[in-house]
Amino acid sequence: MAFTQAPTANWSYPTAIRFGPGRIAELAESCRSAGISKPLLVTDKGLALMEITRSALALLRAAGLDVGLFSEVDPNPTEVNVAEGLRAYREGGYDGVVAFGGGSALDLGKTIAFMSGQTRPLWDFEDIGDYWTRADPAGIAPIVAVPTTAGTGSEVGRAGVITNSETHEKKIIFHPKMLPTIVICDPELTVGMPKHITAGTGLDAFAHCVEAFSSPHYHPMSQGIALEGMRLVHNYLPRAHANGNDLEARAMMMSAAAMGATAFQKGLGAIHALSHPIGAIYHTHHGTTNAVCMPAVLHFNRDAIAGKFDRVAAYLGIPGGFDGFCAYVDALNDALNIPKSLKGLGIEHPDLDALASAALKDPSVGGNPVEMTFENTRALLERIA
């Protein structure tokens, strides 16, 4: 179906989503539906100063909700940010979280809500085995998520990525009840995104779809979602980048972001296994780092995925099968001004041994279709350095 303007709709997949321009007006009612009467709005430092945040706070106050604001969120949020947010949440007597912003704010807001009633330390809930069962479900506060970028899809995820500031490792904190109760996807909130953020977040959504589709695990629903998510990025990211006021393109990219995060239930892979430690150690933008890693990872996985991406290329109307798809990714990165190497991200002398070791510890490794070893992972890093 083709749209000539941004669509408006409600759906529940995997949680209740209120999608469309102007839906931010439903924020207070969404809080009440989620059982929140005194929300803590969690956002990042820059966004806290912007009009869209002031307007959201005003909407909540006008509806009689006693809202507070917490904005001490690093670009890659840490356990220190979690501790400070928990202190603000508990001292303020809040009963739920509005996670408002990009992936960092969403991840932190969800983690604060998750930890608000727990007694065990944060790292006890890392996404390893059944660690999530250690949590007290009754101690998880309700969450309303409002994305203001179109990339991570954290608004429809059951986890938060938190960086251990001492070890410089990104850890995934997981629990099924970290899934927000209600999501407001209002593409008008993304209109003000700068071009480089539009590019980086949009390619993050693309990486989620590419890796989910590449994963060898069996999950046909995620496979279909990943394929359509790639199509949306292919059709609409260049438009959103060229004209930030193109509301249809902004809406389709917001859909693609949620689709990518839904699809990667099937698994991620080497792109994320590399970008997580790169971001944790060198503080690079996550989506942009994914984009830098993607071309080399596609070639790394060639023998396992070429047939799959012959079909992707045909679906997207890209000639040349797998090789054509790889050429398309290179051209898209160039068009969106993505650096070609870690050096282009400002990393002059990366510790490739440390990065390779850290990548092999990342949970994304298990979804890569080609087994990753220290030797081939280090060689892969050399290609992108």
Nearest-angstrom CA–CA distance, 150 and 287? 11
Query: What region, left, alpha or beta, does residue 288 occupy, with left being phi > 0 and alpha being psi -120 to 50 degrees?
Result: alpha
Q: Per the structure block, which two tokens stand in for 129?
A: 């085995």
Tell me, what's the pLDDT at 6?
86
Averaged over successive runs of 10 residues, the pLDDT of the chain (385 residues) comes to 74 90 97 98 94 97 97 93 97 98 96 97 95 96 98 95 93 96 97 94 98 95 96 98 96 97 94 96 95 98 98 98 98 98 96 97 95 98 97
Nearest-angstrom CA–CA distance, 24 and 191? 14
Query: What region, left, alpha or beta, does residue 157 occupy, with left being phi > 0 and alpha being psi -120 to 50 degrees?
Result: beta
Domain 9-189: CATH architecture, name and number where available = 3-Layer(aba) Sandwich (3.40)
Tell me whether residue 198 is exposed, middle or buried, using C-beta atoms within 10 angstroms of its C-beta: 0 to 12, 13 to 18, 19 or more.
buried
The CA-based dihedral angle spanning residues 225, 231, 234, 239, taken in that order and rounded to the nearest 10 degrees: -100
Specify the CATH superfamily of domain 193-384: Dehydroquinate synthase-like - alpha domain (1.20.1090.10)
Determine the distance from the C-alpha atom of residue 128 to the mean position of all C-alpha atoms in its chain, rounded to a whole number.
20
**Please, which residues have CB within 8 angstroms of residue 167's CB and are 6 or more apart in sequence?**
none
Nearest-angstrom CA–CA distance, 361 and 372? 11
Which residues belong to CATH 1.20.1090.10 in the chain? 193-384
Determine the distance from the C-alpha atom of residue 331 to the mean position of all C-alpha atoms in its chain, rounded to a whole number.
23
- The 3-class SS string of the chain reads CCCCCCCCEEEECCCEEEECCCHHHHHHHHHHHCCCCCEEEECCHHHHCCHHHHHHHHHHHHCCCCCEEECCCCCCCEHHHHHHHHHHHHHHCCCEEEEEECHHHHHHHHHHHHHCCCCCCHHHHECCCCHHHHCCHHHCCCEEEEECCCCCCHHHCCEEEEEECCCCEEEEEECHHHCCCEEEECHHHHCCCCHHHHHHHHHHHHHHHHHHHHCCCCCHHHHHHHHHHHHHHHHHHHHHHHCCCCHHHHHHHHHHHHHHHHHHHHCCCHHHHHHHHHHHHHCCCHHHHHHHHHHHHHHHCHHHHHHHHHHHHHHHCCCCHHHHHHHHHHHHHHHCCCCCCCHHHCCCCCCHHHHHHHHHHCHHHHHCCCCCCHHHHHHHHHHHC
Which residues belong to CATH 3.40.50.1970 in the chain? 9-189
Q: Per the structure block, which two tokens stand in for 368?
A: 């890569």
Nearest-angstrom CA–CA distance, 237 and 333? 11
